[in-house]
Amino acid sequence: MPIVLFVSVALIAACGLIYELVAGTLASYLLGDSVFQFSTVIGSYLFAMGVGSYLSRFITRGLVARFVSIELMVGLVGGFSSAALFLAFAYTQGFRLILYAIVVAIGVLVGLEIPLLMRILKNRLEFRELVAHVLTFDYLGSLAASLLFPILLVPKLGMVRSALLFGIINAGVALWSTYLFKDQLGARGFLRISCAAVLVMLGAGMAGAERISQAADANLYADEVIFARDTRYQRIVLTKWKDDVRLFLSSHLQFSSRDEYRYHEALVHPGLAALPGARRVLVLGGGDGLAVREILKYPDVESVTLVDLDPEMTKLFSTHPYLATLNAHSLTNTRVHVINADAFPWLQQNTDSFDFAVVDFPDPTNYSLGKLYTTAFYRLLAKHLSAQGLAVVQSTSPLFARQSYWCIVETLKQAGLKTYPYHVYVPSFGEWGFVLAGMSPYEPPLRLPPGLRYLAASDVLPLFQFPHDMLPVDAEPNRLNDQVLVRYYEHDWREIEH
Amino acid sequence: MSSTRRQFLSAALVGLTPKTDRPIAGGFIDDGHLMGHKLRDRASFAPRKQTVKVPIVIVGGGIAGLSAAWRLHKRGFFDFVLLEMQELAGGNARWGENEISPYPWAAHYVPVPGKKATLVRELFEDLSVLRDGAWEERYLCFSPQERLYLHGRWQEGIEPLTEATTRDREEFARFAARMNEFRATGQFTIPMELGAKPSALDSLSMDDWLKHERFTSPYLSWYINYACRDDYGALARDTSAWAGIHYFASREPDEKGPLTWPEGNGWIARRLLEKLSRYVRTGNMVHRILREGRKLRVSSGQTDYIADCVIFAAPSFLAPYVCEDAPPVRFIYSPWLTANLTLDRLPAEHGFEMAWDNVIYDSPALGYVVATHQSLRTHIDRSVWTFYWSLADGSPSDNRRLLLEKDWNYWREAILRDLERAHPDIRQCVSRLDILRLGHAMARPVAGFLGAPDRVRLAKTSGNLLFANSDVSGFSIFEEAQYRGVKAAERALDGLDSRERWRRTNVLAATGR
């Protein structure tokens, strides 16, 4: 009999610690600054336990029934704590308030458990034995929980399911207690029904954990999601707020329909307008067709080859009524050839040469994308440019990611190209940078095609001037075997976020 | 920020995926041990049907043999054959290929050679790996090169730094400083023969040397043991301190490397075979070499070659089984196991991005290398992993027996269990797992190897039976194999020259043969 009791002591101790760890870990992940989060979570939790222990003196009758109800409440609050915190972070402004409310609530309830249990058991054991055993198993349970949490629970189950699992254990202990202490318990039927109800709720939570994840994810976008699809390569999400449509690829903002014309006019015209003889144009990346829309404003351009990895992306921007209107049906234009391929190997096996190349890849957030910003890639690109040809490279922000930007410039230089860096202000992005590169000298154009919304010919030259806070900084070139750019980029953006 | 947050959310929320064991195809790859054992057991071979006269016979088509052939051909000597036991040449640089990628079966990289490694540089110039003093970027190992699974996460690099104490870091720094001192002595060269001098370091083990120098960090000890297992197939306690130090003190790359290819050093073997295929006879095991006057009769299958000179580039321990004249070879060889795993999807990841070389801390194996790492693609969703395992713990002969006794299921489970520590869902990703057992994968540089009479005798042999395997250097690395092969080729040519046979081939060369 006693050993069974002490196992339940160990179990509830484990549950208590798991909820504390869940709260601390979640707060660290979502808010950063893990030392602060863990300190304050542990501190308020322990304090709340003290409050609970003090409050236990006011419980005088029906100890077992109270104990069972407290177990059920801990199971319910603790079990759903993780899901509640995720959703609170995604949907509300008051994440911290809810975090500490949950921590304090669980702390008070857990603080009530052991004093009550000891009082329930006081007639069964000598006091000396009782204290020793209860506390021993309390600490053993904590040890088990603290080891299980990082090794098994987080990697195997995830945070939401881990908390729910221990909620089920709490409720299980409650149900079990109605049998263990049945001689000390009056009406058992209602308590057992409550236990079953709580178990069902937690079980349903387990089954629906996936849905909770999706609900939380959707709300990380500020606006209404009007389209979302997981393709083989990325997650495409379109959001809409009033007349502003935004495209996110794997959660990275690609454009806002309100100001994308600034980005795409600046991307295409400073280079292409300076090449009156340009006939053949290559676009790498840019499956939204917006750069192509600008290129098609040149009647002399005979063919545009667009190479984008994701067929779903080019299909979406060819067929979706709103998006096809936004890119002026550029992807279905007869002058445009859409190729769905990985750009580096495609360029490797292709032998065509182009007068103008637009390189509009996602930012170098990882080593895979970083390959597209290397000396090897730019050397290969240079081989595909005609003698007077130019390439323009999307090069992240010279203000927010200053060293990354100048690293891309340096990489192009190392690949043997002349470089002409410039930048533009796009409200939804901030200051954004491009680099024109080619084998021949570049002169800014004197005329631009008609019908531009942002750029006038006289505005082009000033784009090449950099104010003090964006001036060149030292950077190593980015090579396949030494991708400094990915490290610069990570470092630059980390600086901004803190 | 939004990206990392989303990734975290999905990682944290989507935990448990239903576990169903999928069937995994695969088996053992022919490693030639059956043929080797026929030699050991002095089995009888088919009688000779034809006799061919040829000035030089190279035995063995690994890097040593191919390098000898490369040198002969480059010197304008075309009258030789290379006999390889296996159907595919390559030796420890052998490779395979499937619908996803070519992949290595053994050696998979060459450190970027320094300025002094002139022969390796010359070869790489021939193969357009080195052009106008610059290394071809696509052949240098892409970032990220290495990662280590430690304390439940992948960290960048294989020096264990996660939760390293100040003391650990100090010992790593002190160790690096000691290695710099050894490098400065000029004795730890590649090729080793150029700098090696008799040394007291060769009389103790690497483990003893570490104790003597008062290195106590468990992280450093793991790291050095890893290096010894990786390069020599031996634990630090079974490795000569001289060899252990050589690993760290011999190289000073001027470029971030190493050089690698999807099929590992198989790429080099392939390029050499393209140039040299007309000399190479695969599926031709040499079972007897007999001295006949000043000539050597080399029997292989139903053909006898009457040669002026034989370059024995196969593992040297085989020589006494085929040639009564051969000196005794009492080297210790390390047994290895390699496996190629075909992954039709990649496992979930925690921590630092997948690298080229992926090592699990405290694993008995050496980790895995990703064949698709050198791909130019940005999106890779299938791959081939080459899993390396030098059976270093225990006696080599016991481990060799274990290699042959246990069936494929046993080794498959051992491999998957090891990988499961870092990749819990690995069983859902692997569709095929093939295993190569290498009983005598590489010579082991045990304490005393440097001055061992057997080794010194092989290195010095002159006459017309020349030894070219990397085991003559005491350890199996690409540069040593190439050096021994080239040197043997040059000595063979000198020998022929002195007998004035040289003129004949020059005439042939001049007439466009």
A345 contacts B143? CB cut-off 8 A: no
A212 contacts B12? CB cut-off 8 A: no
Pairing of strands B367-370, B357-360: antiparallel
Q: What residues in B contact A343, CB-CB < 8 Å?
A: 378
The reply to whether B142 touches chain A by the CB within 8 Å rule is yes
Q: What residues in B contact A29, CB-CB < 8 Å?
A: 8, 12
Looking at residue B253, its pLDDT comes to: 63
Three-state SS at A131: helix
The reply to whether A225 touches chain B by the CB within 8 Å rule is no
DSSP string, A418-486: EEEEEEEEETTTEEEEEEEEESS-----S---TT-SS--HHHHHHHT---GGGS----PPPBTTB-HHH
Q: Which amino acid is at A162?
A: S
What sign does the dihedral A31-A34-A40-A46 (CA atoms) show?
positive
B152 contacts A156? CB cut-off 8 A: no
pLDDT-based confidence at B7, cuts 50/70/90?
very low
The reply to whether A159 touches chain B by the CB within 8 Å rule is yes
Distance from CA of A162 to the nearest CA of B (A): 9
In percent, the amount of chain B with pLDDT more than 70 equals 92
Residues whose CB falls within 8 Å of the CB of residue B129, separated by 6 or more in sequence, listed in order: B135, B136, B139, B259
Provide the residue count of chain B.
513
pLDDT-based confidence at B497, cuts 50/70/90?
confident
On whether the CB atoms of residues B173 and B179 are closer than 8 A, the answer is no
The reply to whether B347 touches chain A by the CB within 8 Å rule is no
Three-state SS at B254: coil
The reply to whether A450 touches chain B by the CB within 8 Å rule is no
Distance from CA of B378 to the nearest CA of A (A): 5
Which of B8, B138, B379 is facing A480, going by the closest CB pair? Answer: B138
What 8-state DSSP symbol labels residue A70? H
Of B138, B144, B375, whose CA–CA distance to A343 is shortest? B375
Strands, E, within B71-157: which ranges? 80-83, 95-97, 102-104, 130-131, 134-135, 146-150, 153-156
Domain with CATH 3.50.50.60 in chain B: 45-93+264-331+446-510
Residues whose CB falls within 8 Å of the CB of residue B72, separated by 6 or more in sequence, listed in order: B56, B78, B80, B489, B492, B493
The reply to whether B12 touches chain A by the CB within 8 Å rule is yes
CATH of B171-249 among 1.10.405, 1.10.8, 1.10.150, 2.60.40: 1.10.405
How many other CB atoms are there within 10 angstroms of residue A171's CB atom? 29
The reply to whether B379 touches chain A by the CB within 8 Å rule is yes
Looking at residue B19, its pLDDT comes to: 45
DSSP string, B5-35: HHHHHHHHH-------PPP-B--EEP-SHHH
Say yes or no to pLDDT of B192 above 50.
yes
Looking at residue A5, its pLDDT comes to: 79
What pLDDT digit, counting tens, does each position of B271-297 carry?
A: 999 999 999 999 999 999 999 999 999
A288 is an active site residue: no
Query: What's the CATH architecture for B45-93+264-331+446-510?
Result: 3-Layer(bba) Sandwich (3.50)
Three-state SS at B303: strand
Burial class of residue B498, CB neighbours in 10 A (0-12, 13-18, 19+) = exposed
Structure tokens given for B82? 């290379």
Pairing of strands A418-426, B95-97: unpaired
Strands, E, within B286-429: which ranges? 286-292, 295-300, 303-307, 309-312, 333-343, 357-360, 367-370, 383-390
Phi-psi region of A391 (alpha: psi -120 to 50; beta: other; left: phi over 0): beta
Say yes or no to pLDDT of B33 above 80.
no
Domain with CATH 1.10.405 in chain B: 171-249
What residues 327-356 of chain A have any CB closer than 8 A to a CB of chain B? 342-345, 348
Q: Is the bond into B55 cis (omega within 30 degrees of 0)?
A: no
Residue range B39-57: mean pLDDT, rounded: 86
The reply to whether B380 touches chain A by the CB within 8 Å rule is yes
Q: What residues in A contact B14, CB-CB < 8 Å?
A: 158, 209-210, 213
Helix axes A209-218, A158-180, angle to 10 degrees: 140
Q: Which amino acid is at B390?
A: S
Looking at residue B6, its pLDDT comes to: 45
* Partner residues linked to B369 by β-bridges: B357, B386
The reply to whether B44 touches chain A by the CB within 8 Å rule is no
A213 contacts B137? CB cut-off 8 A: no
Looking at residue B509, its pLDDT comes to: 57
Looking at residue A469, its pLDDT comes to: 95
**What are the 10-residue block averages of pLDDT along chain A, 498 residues in total?**
79 92 81 78 94 92 88 93 83 82 94 89 84 90 91 79 92 89 80 92 86 61 69 83 85 89 97 96 96 97 97 94 94 97 96 97 94 97 96 96 97 97 95 96 95 95 96 96 95 76
Structure tokens given for B63? 């890097």
Provide the residue count of chain A.
498
B16 contacts A157? CB cut-off 8 A: yes
What residues 136-155 of chain A have any CB closer than 8 A to a CB of chain B? 150-151, 154-155
The reply to whether B144 touches chain A by the CB within 8 Å rule is yes
What 8-state DSSP symbol labels residue A341? S
Say yes or no to pLDDT of B513 above 70.
no
Looking at residue A219, its pLDDT comes to: 53
- For residues B267 and B271, what is the distance between their CA atoms, to the nearest angstrom? 6
Looking at residue B17, its pLDDT comes to: 39
Domains, in order of start, for chain A:
2-218 (1.20.1250), 259-497 (3.40.50.150)
The phi, psi pair for B317, rounded to 5°, reads -65, -20
Looking at residue B306, its pLDDT comes to: 96
Distance from CA of B143 to the nearest CA of A (A): 5
Looking at residue B18, its pLDDT comes to: 42
- For residues A321 and A294, what is the distance between their CA atoms, to the nearest angstrom? 19
Structure tokens given for B19? 């576990």
Q: What residues in B contact A237, CB-CB < 8 Å?
A: none
* Partner residues linked to A241 by β-bridges: A244
H-helix segments, A273-421: 290-295, 311-319, 321-326, 343-349, 367-370, 375-383, 402-414
On whether the CB atoms of residues A199 and A171 are closer than 8 A, the answer is yes
* Partner residues linked to B52 by β-bridges: B305
- For residues B269 and A324, what is the distance between their CA atoms, to the nearest angstrom? 52
Say yes or no to pLDDT of B353 above 80.
yes
- For residues B81 and B247, what is the distance between their CA atoms, to the nearest angstrom? 34
pLDDT-based confidence at B11, cuts 50/70/90?
very low
The reply to whether B14 touches chain A by the CB within 8 Å rule is yes
Residue among A360, A363, A474, A492 flagged as catalytic: A360
- For residues A472 and A413, what is the distance between their CA atoms, to the nearest angstrom? 14
H-helix segments, B186-240: 206-212, 218-232
Q: What residues in A contact B144, CB-CB < 8 Å?
A: 367, 483
- What number of helices (H) and strands (E) belong to chain B? 16, 21
The reply to whether A81 touches chain B by the CB within 8 Å rule is no
B10 contacts A497? CB cut-off 8 A: no
Select the highest-mean-pLDDT range: A159-168, B235-244, B247-256: B235-244
B350 contacts A345? CB cut-off 8 A: no
The reply to whether B11 touches chain A by the CB within 8 Å rule is yes
How many angstroms from the chain centroid is the CA of residue A277?
A: 44
Residues whose CB falls within 8 Å of the CB of residue B498, separated by 6 or more in sequence, listed in order: none
Distance from CA of A133 to the nearest CA of B (A): 33
Pairing of strands B430-443, B357-360: unpaired
Which of A212, A251, A483 is facing B2, going by the closest CB pair? Answer: A251
Say yes or no to pLDDT of B39 above 90.
no
Distance from CA of A38 to the nearest CA of B (A): 18
Place of tokens 């080099």: B268
Of B104, B109, B83, B79, whose CA–CA distance to B94 is shortest? B104
What 8-state DSSP symbol labels residue B142? P
Give the number of A-B residue pairs with CB atoms closer than 8 Å. 124
Residues whose CB falls within 8 Å of the CB of residue A9, separated by 6 or more in sequence, listed in order: A114, A117, A133, A134, A137, A138, A141
Q: What residues in B contact A371, CB-CB < 8 Å?
A: 142, 376, 378
Which of A157, A368, A480 is facing B378, going by the closest CB pair? Answer: A368
Looking at residue B175, its pLDDT comes to: 96
Residues whose CB falls within 8 Å of the CB of residue A135, separated by 6 or more in sequence, listed in order: none
Of A479, A480, A475, A477, whose CA–CA distance to A491 is shortest? A475
**What ipTM does this complex have?**
0.85
What pLDDT digit, counting tens, does each position of B319-345 carry?
A: 999 998 899 999 999 999 999 999 999
- For residues A44 and B5, what is the distance between their CA atoms, to the nearest angstrom? 26
Q: Indicate yes or no: pTM above 0.80.
A: no
Residue range B231-257: mean pLDDT, rounded: 91
* Distance between start and end Cα atoms, chain B: 68
Q: What residues in B contact A370, CB-CB < 8 Å?
A: 143
